[in-house]
Structure 1
Amino acid sequence: MGRLRAFLVVLALLVSGATAVSAADIRITEMAVTTKIVRNNPIDSVKRISSTSVKALYCFTRLVNPSGEESVIKHVWYQNGEVVGEQELSVKGEKWRTWSKKPIDRESVGKWRVEALDSGGKLLKAVEFKIN
């Protein structure tokens, strides 16, 4: 009976298109908006910044991908509640670091949020900051 049950579970997974370990298992261990990345690490964590002090900001994300299988996450950048940028980022290992970049200018003033989504669109984590 045990083998039959295991077979039925595998069959159900195959029919549904699911895998034993999915992209939903990705877990973010660190996420920060930063002014610069040095040696694959953020140098600071921005909570408030002047639009004239930098030309770009980066959203750094460190994550764990238990399956180790190649996957993707997406960074969605919001300014005052509206989407102003999206970037798909590859994940190619069990422990991974990645980041996206957003140019900053005088039109960038406002409340900002960056969301990290898994390949299915599930929110993994978000960070908020302000640009003066």
Structure 2
Amino acid sequence: MRRVSTFLTVIIVCLFMVTGAMAAEAGALRITEMAVTTKISRNNPIDSVRRINHRSVPALYCFTRILNPSGTETTIRHIWYRNGQVAAEQELNVKGKKWRTWSKRPIGRDSVGKWRVETLDSEGKLLKAVDFRIN
């Protein structure tokens, strides 16, 4: 009888751990759209850049659409990398269950190279990344 009781206790504890982890994941931020774009119009990106000439536009934007199930105010961080080196970082507020935000990076002749923008949550967890190239 004692073995059955111990076994049931272990099963119950495991179930609580699994459902607790699932609830934590359900409350986690999720990126539903992320794009490097040449312009934001009416709070939306107008295009998605994969390759662009440095003479085409004076700046690029990293647009991020976020689903925040908990609705609690938090932050995300955009980290812009050029050729594997951090070129810029920007912390952005998330103030609702569905939120859109973006960061801006000026570009010029010195911007030529391989780029990557990573979005991290407030704990530093990578949520999503976008790669592109400036010629």
Task: Give the partner amino acid of 2:69.
Answer: P
* 1:39 matched to 2:8: no
Deviation track 1:35-89 (CA, whole Å, cap 9, x = no partner) reads: 0000000000000000011100000000100110000000000000000000000
- Which residue in the other structure is 1:117 paired with? 120
Q: CA deviation at 1:95?
A: 0.2
Unmatched tracts of structure 1, length 5 or more: 1-8, 10-19
| TM-score, L = length of structure 1 | 0.83
State the structure with more CA Rg: 2
* 1:87 matched to 2:90: yes
Question: Deviation above 3 Å: which 4+ runs of structure 1?
Answer: none
SS in 2 for 1:46: coil
| TM-score, L = length of structure 2 | 0.81
CA contact 1:21–1:67 (8 Å) conserved in 2: no
Cα distance in 1 for partners of 2:29, 2:104 equals 21
* 1:57 matched to 2:26: no
Q: Which has the higher helix share?
A: 2
